[in-house]
Amino acid sequence: MPAVPTAVPALAPVQAPAAVAAPVQPAPPAAPQPRVPTGPATFTFSGELTQGGWLRGQAPGGTTAARIDDQPLVLDAEGRFFAALDRDAPAQALLSATLADGRTVEQPVAVSPRDWDIQHVNASRTAGVPSDSFMERRRPELDAIIAARAEETGAQGWRQDFVWPVTGRISGRFGSQRIYRGEPGSYHSGLDIAPGAGTPYVAPADGVVVLVAEQPFSLEGNLLIIDHGAGLNSAFLHSQFIAVSEGQRVRQGEVLGRVGSTGRATGPHLHWSLMWRGRRLDPLLFLPPQG
């Protein structure tokens, strides 16, 4: 009999290995974007636009950096700023802003001149060259004043309407000056108020104490400097007594000390000076009329 072929079993189909899914990588975190203040299309501001004056305002929307002339401005989260005009400021200042998209916005500020109290004296200046011994004492004092005025404490007093530190007879006005046979003397850098020795004086605005003279300075006597923020600071000279300490935060209206005649003073009075980024300002332009 013929051989019966043996059935060959069918082979099972070969299965391809299952594909292994690649692990999902998390997306990298987005780089933090700098906060760009919103605001108007150009600068808005108000204030005392005159020599020795000041302005508060808001920078254009999208501003990343701003200046007045060659001085950088500190902008808060909403783009608000403080700036000031020196006693000898020219007739025009320039506000400029750099925007996030690279554009620049510029805006001129007209600065009105002041009629300063100038006295022409037909005599030579009597002040001589300071002695070596005086300058040895004076240099550390000047260094301390410069360092204090450069401190940035984040104080917010620059936003406020200032109040009188003390009221009384005005015995010296900002900007007054003598000319000795054509040679200018130093102008008066602050406001002198003479209410009487021992009268308390207060903070004209919020701030942080950045200097209290440990010993009376040669010219200023018992000196106190307060930072109001945004580059603005107050100095109080000739105090009989200072009631606050360095690093202390003070509130508007808080007692700072008592009026005296320490240092180079002809009688008891409070000499109050204001400065912004090296520009000397007229305190009367920050104040309402005396009540």
Report the 10 Å Cβ neighbour count for 7.
6
Q: How many structural domains is the chain composed of? A: 2
Q: Assess whether 84 and 210 both reside in one domain.
A: no
When mean pLDDT is compared across 25-29, 117-121, 176-180, the lowest value belongs to 25-29
In a domain, 209, yes or no: yes
Q: With DSSP H G I counted as helix, E B as strand and the rest as coil, what are the percentages for the chain, rounded to 5?
A: 10, 35, 55
The answer to whether the CB of 79 falls within 8 A of the CB of 25 is no
Residue from 285, 282, 279 nearest 69 by CA: 279
Residue from 227, 229, 209, 206 nearest 80 by CA: 229
For the whole model, what pTM was predicted? Answer: 0.84
Q: Assess whether 179 and 263 both reside in one domain.
A: yes
DSSP code per residue over 98-120: EETTS-EEEEEEE-B-----EEE
Q: Assess whether 123 and 179 both reside in one domain.
A: yes
Place of tokens 């950088």: 72
Q: Where are the alpha helices (DSSP H) in the chain?
A: 132-149
What does DSSP assign to residue 237? Answer: E
Instruction: For residue 26, give the amino acid letter.
Output: P
Residue 31 has pLDDT above 70, yes or no: no
**Domain that includes residue 191, residue range:** 118-286
In a domain, 25, yes or no: no
Residue 291 has pLDDT above 50, yes or no: yes
Q: Assess whether 177 and 97 both reside in one domain.
A: no
In a domain, 281, yes or no: yes
The residues with which 119 forms a beta bridge, in sequence order, are 178
What mean pLDDT comes out for the span 173-183?
A: 89
What does DSSP assign to residue 181? Answer: T
Q: Assess whether 184 and 213 both reside in one domain.
A: yes
- Give the pLDDT band of residue 1 (cuts 50, 70, 90): very low
